[in-house]
Structure 1
Amino acid sequence: MKVSQHLKAGIIPILTLALSACGKKELNQTPDTLSAKNGNRIAAVESSTPPTKAEALLAMQCYNNAFYQQYGTYGPSYKAYYYSDVTHTGRMDFWRQAEAIETLIDAYTVNNDTDLRNKFVYLYNGMRDNWGLLWSSNSYNDDVIWGALMCIRAFRITNDGGMKDMAKNNFDLVWSRAWDTNLGGGLWWTTGKTTKNACVNAPAAICAIYLYQATGDAGYLTKAKQLVDWMVSKLYASGSGAVAGAMNAAGTITEGTRTYTQGTFIGACNLLHTYYPSNNYLTMAAKAMDYTKNNMCNAAGLLPDEYDTDDCQGFKAIFARWACQFVRDRGYQGTYANWLNYNAQQAWQYRNSSGLMWGQWWRRTPDSYVNSFETTCGASMMNGVWLF
């Protein structure tokens, strides 16, 4: 693959050096066969060191080299999008585009690299250009919330009022059409109102807290607390720390745990703890972390692949984002750093010749085909561990 014109010239020698060692043999083992005797975590977890910060930046630049497409001007600025895969068959769909931009924001937060900042602004412009300012035509409330969360995170860096307005207006749209007192509260997943899902309620809580910080409107903080408290009452298992994925209109749990719902629940609890320290949010976040580590990983400590559909393959990027921030904010490095570092290390170890990492962190990433959602996972984890 040719090096994109959007990469800085100075990174080319680094790229060549880093990728020259990519010809690693594929392990002839499944995740389960990587376990140590008696199912204990392998010693590598406890002695693991993350990829270097320079490698974390390089991972994001490799991702941009593979998928980033700038396609014109947007007022005095530019606009861009991410392709859906390495064959450049089309742009990523709405929610996955938002999550890829969040991965870029993750990398900028750690590296403060001007090129990364410019790119997430241009990608945001591309979202506006392609989907407009208000996403009322999208029936998936979680999609709209993922987009709003991306916008408010971008605003926190740029102080661009347009980003704040997009986040606020789209969050308000979802709240007005999705919150009701059926099942005791919570947001419906879609406008069809068949299930209330963690994948809309937890990220909406995070978005609401950031909106409170951006606007000073205490109503958003109240909404965040309502969302998390509803999840605790309906989807969270206090004994184990598992966060169920969804409840149907009859009150029956219909989905199990996923890394992204664990991660966004952790992120929401982490942020709420700042404002309600006497509540149990910190303990619940830690329990959700423990459940993910002890019950969702394989015996070697690797996060699950979640490759059942292509809509699931990037979930670990979302988990990494909020789990790493939680560890940094609450000083839990001694409990979780080795585990998270090990996952980052394994992701980078099995990169392909273009520096891309798919979500199966126990074997080499193919050179032939990967999509741009699955390959957010390694980049987000590699940069996330540098938060702490």
Structure 2
Amino acid sequence: MKNNSTNLHYTRAVSNYSLLLQHGRHILTIVVLACCAFAAGCKKDIKTDAATADAISSGRKLRTEALPTRAEALVAIQVYNNNFYNQYGSYGPSFKAYYWKDQNHTSRMDFWTQAEAIEMLIDAYYINPGTDLQNKIAYLYNGMRDNWGLTWESNEFNDDIIWGALMCVRAYAITNDGGMLDMAKNNFAIVWNRAWDTQLGGGLWWKTDKQSKNACVNAPAVICAMKLYAATGDAAYKTKAKQIMDWMVGKFYTSSGEVKGAVNAADVITEGARTYTQGTFIGACDLLRNEYPAVGYATMANNVMNYTKNNMCNAAGILPDEYDTGDTEGMKAIFARWACIYVQSASLVSTYGAWLDANAEKAWSVRNNSGVMWGKWGTRTPDNTTLNSFETTTGVSMMNNVYWYH
């Protein structure tokens, strides 16, 4: 169970020291050490200069325009966890946890957004590996199986199941927990067996009602299958990944780099590009490009990167706000993940690094006095608004994932 006294000290510490972070890099080391000290239950007094003290008292945010440091990326995930992470109960010697849906702690996050928040935590672990983040990944996985069971066939949304399976296989790579791998394998099989058919030439249905086939299930299914192939050595996963991707390229990919979002049962395209479908298509290309070099997946990935940069961003290259529904508010966190991983693995830092860095800088610059970042990177995050845990994954993901290539 949580220690409420320690948690309160940590809440105050993160809030105060996030303010100090905004003053400049010369106090960053002190801030990070102070956060860690409070997390361990130890208080330290820190003196602030006049400008910082004035900013704290007036509520102004002191801005820095440089790329957030790796240490600041760690602070970002610590701030996120302090706002939304909830540990409860136990599984034998281990614990269970979930992310709250909002800062009012009204309920846990929904299934697919919970899985994506855990993926954000996985990203953060790779950038700043440590026992605390690794344990939280395991505890959150325990919370997923506690609340939704080991298999998710009752969920009509095939994309939900794939997002969950992808989270599990990525977590397995960190923890080596065979239960996570089994969960990924079993739930991928559920989707493949009920969603793949030859209607419309192939592809996975979005829902069990079989009314549309969407990029949001097919692209992450390619990534999930390739990661299952890497984890198990079973070439059947690679074959399935290629089948899905071949269909996606023919149905959704355009030479301009736009990835269409959905096709209905009458074979009519019904959705255009979103950041998360662009990103997962890039991630799928990345995992397939070395396995099938003759296909040209690297060229496709570059085209999709270029389209996202040139056609979906604003004049400064900043990724769009996607606030039309609650399900869209955290989408660019997913883009950040797969785009940055691709840039690192394909050695394209000189081509795309400055653009992605600018987004990380922008996300961090709009944080509020508690260090929380929402998904509207053109506007300062408000201090007196209840923020939800999905919209606030975007900046944390962006800040951490640029360190794949830095």
Looking at structure 2, the residues matched to 274 and 6 of structure 1 have their Cα atoms a distance apart, in angstroms, of 49
Deviation at 1:11, TM superposition (A): 7.3
Match of 1:278 among 271, 278, 294: 294
Say whether residues 1:214 and 2:214 are aligned partners. no
Looking at structure 2, the residues matched to 350 and 105 of structure 1 have their Cα atoms a distance apart, in angstroms, of 23
The aligned amino acid for 1:18 is: L
Say whether residues 1:187 and 2:204 are aligned partners. yes
- Return 5+ residue gaps in structure 2 as ranges: 23-51
Q: Is the 8 A contact 1:51 1:344 kept in 2?
A: yes
Looking at structure 2, the residues matched to 230 and 6 of structure 1 have their Cα atoms a distance apart, in angstroms, of 53
* CA deviation map 1:339-369 (0-9, x unaligned): 1111010110010111111010011111221
Say whether residues 1:250 and 2:266 are aligned partners. yes
Q: Is the 8 A contact 1:26 1:364 kept in 2?
A: no
Looking at structure 1, the residues matched to 246 and 10 of structure 2 have their Cα atoms a distance apart, in angstroms, of 44
Q: Which has the higher contact order (CA 8 A, sep 6+)?
A: 1
Looking at structure 1, the residues matched to 250 and 238 of structure 2 have their Cα atoms a distance apart, in angstroms, of 18
Q: Is the 8 A contact 1:26 1:363 kept in 2?
A: no
The aligned amino acid for 2:81 is: N
CA RMSD of aligned residues (A): 2.3
* CA deviation map 1:230-261 (0-9, x unaligned): 110000112x0100000001111000100000
Looking at structure 2, the residues matched to 145 and 162 of structure 1 have their Cα atoms a distance apart, in angstroms, of 16
Looking at structure 1, the residues matched to 395 and 18 of structure 2 have their Cα atoms a distance apart, in angstroms, of 17
Change beyond 3 A, Cα 1:165–1:226:
same
Looking at structure 1, the residues matched to 9 and 178 of structure 2 have their Cα atoms a distance apart, in angstroms, of 27
Change beyond 3 A, Cα 1:182–1:2:
farther
| Residue 144 of structure 1: aligned partner | 161
Change beyond 3 A, Cα 1:99–1:2:
farther
- Return 5+ residue gaps in structure 1 as ranges: 28-43
Change beyond 3 A, Cα 1:172–1:381:
same
| Residue 343 of structure 1: aligned partner | 359
Match of 2:139 among 119, 122, 127: 122
Match of 1:163 among 172, 176, 180: 180
* CA deviation map 1:149-206 (0-9, x unaligned): 0000000111110000000000000000000000110000000000000000000000
Q: Secondary structure at the match of 2:253?
A: coil
Q: Is the 8 A contact 1:70 1:80 kept in 2?
A: yes
Match of 1:304 among 312, 320, 326: 320
Deviation at 1:61, TM superposition (A): 0.3
Q: Is the 8 A contact 1:148 1:168 kept in 2?
A: yes
Looking at structure 2, the residues matched to 366 and 131 of structure 1 have their Cα atoms a distance apart, in angstroms, of 33
Q: Is the 8 A contact 2:15 2:369 kept in 1?
A: no
Deviation at 1:2, TM superposition (A): 9.0
Say whether residues 1:376 and 2:393 are aligned partners. yes
Looking at structure 1, the residues matched to 60 and 247 of structure 2 have their Cα atoms a distance apart, in angstroms, of 47
Looking at structure 1, the residues matched to 116 and 201 of structure 2 have their Cα atoms a distance apart, in angstroms, of 29
Q: Is the 8 A contact 2:61 2:369 kept in 1?
A: no
Looking at structure 2, the residues matched to 118 and 8 of structure 1 have their Cα atoms a distance apart, in angstroms, of 20
Runs of 4+ in 1 over 4 A off after TM superposition: 5-16, 19-27
Aligned counterparts, 1:96-107, within 5 A: 96-107=113-124
Say whether residues 1:154 and 2:171 are aligned partners. yes
The aligned amino acid for 1:353 is: N
| Residue 17 of structure 1: aligned partner | 20
The aligned amino acid for 1:224 is: A
Q: Secondary structure at the match of 1:133?
A: coil
Looking at structure 2, the residues matched to 13 and 360 of structure 1 have their Cα atoms a distance apart, in angstroms, of 23
Q: Secondary structure at the match of 2:351?
A: helix
| Residue 200 of structure 1: aligned partner | 217
How many residue pairs get aligned? The number is 368
Looking at structure 1, the residues matched to 18 and 131 of structure 2 have their Cα atoms a distance apart, in angstroms, of 18
Query: Which structure has the larger Rg over C-alpha atoms?
Result: 2
The aligned amino acid for 1:69 is: N
Looking at structure 2, the residues matched to 165 and 143 of structure 1 have their Cα atoms a distance apart, in angstroms, of 17
Deviation at 1:114, TM superposition (A): 1.5
| Residue 340 of structure 2: aligned partner | 324
Aligned counterparts, 1:50-69, within 5 A: 50-69=67-86
TM-score (norm 1): 0.91
Deviation at 1:277, TM superposition (A): 1.6
* CA deviation map 1:30-78 (0-9, x unaligned): xxxxxxxxxxxxxx9xxx7420100001000000000000011112200
The aligned amino acid for 2:243 is: Q
Q: Is the 8 A contact 1:49 1:338 kept in 2?
A: no
Looking at structure 2, the residues matched to 6 and 222 of structure 1 have their Cα atoms a distance apart, in angstroms, of 52
Change beyond 3 A, Cα 1:248–1:6:
farther
The share of aligned pairs that are identical, in percent, is 65
* CA deviation map 1:287-313 (0-9, x unaligned): 000000000001111100010111100
Q: Is the 8 A contact 2:11 2:82 kept in 1?
A: no
